[in-house]
Amino acid sequence: MPTFCIGHFEFKTFVDPIATYLFKELPESPSLKVIAGEAVRAVCTGPSEIKVGQMFDYYLRLEDRWGNPVGSSLKFSHRGWSEPGTYTVRAEDKDTQLSAENNPIDVLKEMPMHRKFWADFHGQSGETIGSNTPNFSRT
């Protein structure tokens, strides 16, 4: 059973109708939709580096106990800082009172030639052994 949100999860079902060890797939297997549960954790993210005095946006995402996003992320804006250093901000969801502190933000006088970027390039679609299509959306 998957713990991640998925629009259509099929329990592939095979039967051996006449006990010959030749299993046949049922024409229609049971399926269900996995949706996010109740929000139990907040995650706050922002940029890794900004320039002194630069305004920026940061986001608060609510997650269920399996790490699935619950609803849309909340967007906040910050005016920035006037001195170089490493700072964090805290965001709170008013409905759930869940809050989180973001990743450290390095405030620099000048931006470096090579900047920090974060990504997760791993993924599998239903075209391999994963789920969903490469064009999957959470709608």
Superfamily of domain 39-111: Macroglobulin (MG2) domain (2.60.40.1930)
The dihedral over CA atoms of 106, 108, 112, 114, expressed in degrees to the nearest 10, equals 10
pLDDT tens digits, the chain, 139 residues: what are they?
677 888 888 888 999 989 999 999 999 989 989 889 999 999 999 999 999 999 999 999 999 999 999 999 999 999 999 999 999 999 999 999 999 999 999 999 998 888 877 777 666 666 665 666 666 555 4
pLDDT of residue 113: 86
Q: Indicate the domain borders of the chain.
A: 1-35, 39-111
How far apart CA 100 and CA 98 sit, in angstroms, is 7
**What single DSSP character describes residue 109?**
S
Compute CA 36 distance to the chain's CA centroid, rounded to the nearest angstrom.
11
pLDDT of residue 64: 95
Count CB neighbours of 68 within 10 A.
Answer: 18
Q: Could you tell me the pTM of the whole model?
A: 0.72
